[in-house]
Amino acid sequence: MKTKKKSERKSRPLVVGFLERISSKIFSDFPKQLTDLIGKQHGVYALYKGSRLYYVGLATNLRGRIKQHLRDKHAGKWDKFSLYLVRKADYIKELETLIMRVAKPAGNISGGRLPKADNLKSLLEANIKKEQLKQLRGLLGSRMPHKAIKKEKTIIKGKKPSRKTALAPYINKPFIIKVVRKGEIHIARVRKDGSINYNGRIYNSPSMAGRAVSGRSTNGWHFWHYKNNKGEWVLLDKLRKK
């Protein structure tokens, strides 16, 4: 029974309830019924004009915030709403941002930012270029011009990081990070510019360096450890919370 309860706790959903495409008239026609159902719960909401998404927002009091939009600058610009009750308030902002980035509602000025997430575009670009170089070798033979070989080393080994590194805002000097995986200790060096040197290759984010160790997609902030001012090895994510 204990094992079953533990499994049930792990599988609890993030979204615990929702209403979709509800007429704004419910606030005037059935306010008590809506209040009894939703209360002052938190989550993400969306406003629609007909079938078109107009605005996305988050609120600690969903019912109150949506009702407010009947009188503020958004009044008259929407006639239906959806709301999603979220179990953990920690994720509300990221959920709102995801919806804004995907749907780009007309009423939202900003597209939303994901400052704690790694942009994987540079890794994808490097992987594509690596494959292109392999194809070129197959077409032209095993020997390649000197310049092409030099370029390949730059792309694969990352001697010169092509974009701002994920760790750059949080450091001012080089330091060591490590991870113990399957009984083996893996050591990497964070350079002054925030890039990470692991086994002679340079990575622009902890997740990319973590993937080099694990062989699969990894949240590097919760994978690597560093030594804090007290001499304790703690998760790299602690750097972002100072």
Domain coordinates in residue numbering, the chain: 13-103, 121-241
pLDDT tens digits along 29-66: 999 999 999 998 999 999 999 999 999 999 999 999 99
- pLDDT at residue number 170: 87
pLDDT tens digits along 92-125: 888 888 888 888 888 887 777 776 666 677 667 8
Cα 83 from Cα 206, distance rounded (Å): 35
Count of C-beta atoms within a 10 Å radius of residue 115: 8
190 CB burial (10 A radius; 0-12, 13-18, 19+)? buried
pLDDT tens digits along 72-91: 999 999 999 999 998 877 77
Between 3.40.50.12160, 3.30.70.120, 3.40.1440.10, 3.40.50.720, what CATH number should domain 13-103 receive?
3.40.1440.10
Angle between helix axes 146-157 and 121-140 (nearest 10 degrees) is: 150
pLDDT tens digits along 220-242: 999 999 998 888 899 999 888 76
